[in-house]
Amino acid sequence: TQAIRLAPSILSADFARLGEEVRAIEAGGADLVHVDVMDNHYVPNLTIGPLVCAAIRPHVSIPLDVHLMVEPVDALIPLFAQAGARIITFHPEASRHVDRTLGMIRELGCKAGLALNPATSLAVLDHVMDKLDMILLMSVNPGFGGQKFITATLPKLAAARARIEAHVASGGQPIWLQVDGGVTVDNIGAIRAAGADTFVAGSAVFGAPDADGGYRGVLQRLRA
């Protein structure tokens, strides 16, 4: 079977001990650190800025996967690139010019991702496939951790996977397919079968009981 990437979301970490928390997920086998940036405008919550990103950067060697839920988005992108982001993902509704924003992310030396809300059509991908390194399908409405996985995401993932396969078959670059929201040990098998290769998990990772092996234990069960 294909290798997968696990991206614990620090939204559910202990913010008073963030350095320790990101070191613990790296030691536990995480592939990416997922950083949820919320602005109380695009989404009804307020979280992490570039300063916090820069503060955690030296604590890990795995890439920072920055998910921007901010509007407008363009002005913040260089700040997160400077703060050590390796992947920068934004929502098309938050950019006046999606193609330009994707180009800006790559010009800054980062991988570019586009995040689609549960009700956003895959049609927004039609004319930008060449400029994408990752497609993020939201499986909850953005804004909060700990929500329930929306099952309509499964056929949407399959359709996105088919688009990626067709793109690669016609000579296009590889594109990661990330899923974000409500991922658990119990549903990850079905989500993987639908075509996702990169998995965000917040509450499932940071809420894992020490008795069950803590972060390492849950990351192993998610990968199994």
Q: Does 39 bind ligand DX5 (CB under 6 A)?
A: no
Q: Which one of 202, 215, 219, 222 is in contact with ligand DX5 (CB under 6 A)?
A: 202
The answer to whether the CB of 196 falls within 8 A of the CB of 177 is: yes
CA 165, 201, 7: angle at the middle one, nearest 5? Answer: 60
Minimum CB distance to ligand DX5 smaller for 5 or for 34: 34
Residue 143 sits in the site that holds ligand DX5 (CB under 6 A): yes
What is the footprint of Zn ion within residues 97-126 (CB under 5 A)? none
- 92 preceded by a cis bond (ω within 30 of 0): no
The footprint of Zn ion on residues 121-180 (CB under 5 A) is 180
> How far apart, in whole angstroms, are the C-alpha atoms of residue 172 and residue 153?
24
200 contacts ligand DX5 (rule: CB under 6 A):
yes
Between CA 52 and CA 75 the distance in angstroms is 17
Instruction: Judge whether 197 counts as a catalytic residue.
Output: no
Binding to ligand DX5 (CB under 6 A) within 6-35 occurs at 9, 11-12, 34
Structure-token pair, residue 161: 């996977």
Contact 219, 179 (CB under 8 A): no
The CB-of-169 to Zn ion minimum distance in angstroms stands at: 29
CB atoms within 10 A of CB 141: 14
CB contact at 8 A, 206 and 16: no
Residue 196 found at the interface with ligand DX5 (CB under 6 A): no
Active-site amino acid positions: 36, 180
Positions touching ligand DX5 (CB under 6 A) are: 9, 11-12, 34, 36, 67, 140, 142-143, 145-147, 180-183, 200-204
Positions touching Zn ion (CB under 5 A) are: 36, 67, 180
